[in-house]
Amino acid sequence: MEVSRYLDLFVDIGQAMLEAGAGIHRVEDTIYRLCGAYGLGRADIFAIRSLILVTIREDTGKSYTDSRRIYGIGTNMARLEELNALSRYICRERPEAAEIDSEKGRMRGEEDEGKI
C-alpha cells in the first residue's frame, strides 16, 4: 500500500473541507478516521484555519508527513455534504487511491461549473 499516496489524498479532503467552512475538529476527525480505515498506522493530526499537518507512524517506525497551507476559506454547505459523503464511502468501502482521486476530480469539476 502506498501510504504517502493515501496520506496526500486524505489531506486533500481535509483541505477541501476547511476551504468549504468545516470546523477544525471535524477536519481532524475525518482525516483520523480515513487513516484508520486503511490501517495506515498512528495518525497525529493538527489543523488550524490556515494549516493542516498530518504525520503517520507505521509499526516499523517509518513516518510519513504531509502539510497543507490553507489560503481561502468560505462557506459551502453543499460541498461539505459531498465531502462528508465521500469520506464515509471511503471509510466503509476502502476504494483504491485511483478511485478516490477520480471522485475528487469529479467533485472539483462540478464545483467549477457551479453545481456545488
Which pLDDT tens digit goes with each residue over 52-99?
999 999 999 999 999 999 999 999 999 999 999 999 999 999 999 999
Nearest alpha-carbon partner for 80 in 17, 36, 33, 31 = 17
Q: Which residue has the cell 459531498?
A: 82
Q: Is 52 helix (H, G, I), strand (E, B) or coil?
A: strand
Q: What is the pTM of this model?
A: 0.91
Which DSSP category does 61 fall into? Answer: S
In this prediction, residues 15-21 reach a mean pLDDT of 97
Residue 113's pLDDT is: 61
Helix, strand, coil % in the chain, rounded to nearest 5: 55, 20, 25
Instruction: Report yes or no: 43 and 29 within 8 Å, Cβ to Cβ.
Output: no
Determine if residue 28 is left, alpha or beta; phi over 0 gives left, psi from -120 to 50 gives alpha, anything else beta.
alpha
Least confident of 10-14, 95-99, 103-107: 103-107
